[in-house]
Structure 1
């Protein structure tokens, strides 16, 4: 029986434009693909292993024709709207207190600051959770299995009693190796508000 629901953030609650953001970055930086160096620095930043100042300095050193604002705007381009009905769904879950609710997101400081500024109900959203983990704060990152082990240990959870919802297949596959139930949500055709219809076999 499922006792704990572990949610990703992007494309589960807040909508993302991954393809649009990538096209925007490649056009802005006038490159064809992201180099290994850029991918590495992005990963370090998302895991909280370098500070925002160092991250921005790296990009300005590599793309001196761009301002700090250009870089921040490009970085945050991926973040879109947060449908209110998803908040209401979560608030109802929190009110019922039937499940422990946990957020587990690969999120960096620039993104979460943008969300805090743009999503007027961010505090209400965060208040729904029993635990709220952002990769840059805990210095762990999906799909590495140690991030799931951390959440299980911190909250004294039994894997088979947990359901983890994430839009990235690599992340759900990693969680499954530990015995956690998963839903690799397809954001193009599925919505978190339909959780109990789509995954009714688990409840």
Structure 2
């Protein structure tokens, strides 16, 4: 891809597989009704946004799930298991793909995440890949709960651009959510919709002349 010097990668369903349907079923099993309105890929209860921006603690989030399920006896472990069922894992070979991209571009990670998922993911990459964090795979990794911001809001993109002195005209953002791409475009970034399974990340980047 011509004139691109920097790439900002989303995490979920770009590098790391997630599955919303599994989590919808898990929340339904806890007693939450109207699950499509409560939690889905393109929209969800404000509880999730608040957790991703650290406006509420993990304990307040769990209490919110208990309230939504109308079941105050749900344990922290039951709630965390349902919430973490979203997380499948890093697709095979994707860390090698990221290192190849890093050798060619300045690369960054920008993910809407939260404390509960972050802890699970860090444990996953430590156990499965011997990686303590993402410092070796990107110039810098950004997570919404550390920033107090989330995609698709313009300010999260502006902060990444400012922090790293990026030229938006030379920067590509890759995400699987059209609404997040819309926010990135407002910041002047080039965008690509990840429309393949994370296992096909290499193919996706090669098809788009990135690798």
180-189 or 98-107, larger mean C-alpha shift: 180-189
1:79 aligned onto 2:87: yes
Distance 2:208 2:79 in 1: 40
1:108 aligned onto 2:114: yes
Distance 1:12 1:41 in 2: 24
Question: For residues 190 and 83 of structure 1, do their structure 2 counterparts lie closer, same or farther at Cα, with a shift above 3 Å needed?
Answer: closer
Aligned to 1:151: 160
CA deviation vs aligned residue, 1:89-148 (integer Å, no higher than 9, x gap): 112233x2x311100000001001011122233426442111110000000100001111
1:24 aligned onto 2:33: no
Where in structure 2 are there 5+ consecutive unaligned residues? Answer: none
Aligned to 1:60: 66
TM-score (norm 1): 0.88
Distance 1:41 1:113 in 2: 19
Corresponding residue to 1:70 among 57, 63, 78: 78
Indicate if the aligned counterparts of 1:91 and 1:128 stay in contact, CA closer than 8 A.
yes
Aligned to 2:193: 184
1:129 aligned onto 2:138: yes
Distance 1:83 1:42 in 2: 25
Indicate if the aligned counterparts of 2:15 and 2:198 stay in contact, CA closer than 8 A.
no
Superposed CA RMSD in Å reads: 2.2
Structure 1 stretches of 4+ with a deviation exceeding 4 A read: none
Q: Give the secondary structure class of the aligned counterpart of 1:80.
A: strand
Corresponding residue to 2:179 among 170, 177, 182: 170
Deviation at 1:27, TM superposition (A): 3.0
Distance 1:60 1:50 in 2: 15
Indicate if the aligned counterparts of 1:87 and 1:125 stay in contact, CA closer than 8 A.
no
Deviation at 1:26, TM superposition (A): 2.0
Question: For residues 187 and 23 of structure 1, do their structure 2 counterparts lie closer, same or farther at Cα, with a shift above 3 Å needed?
Answer: farther
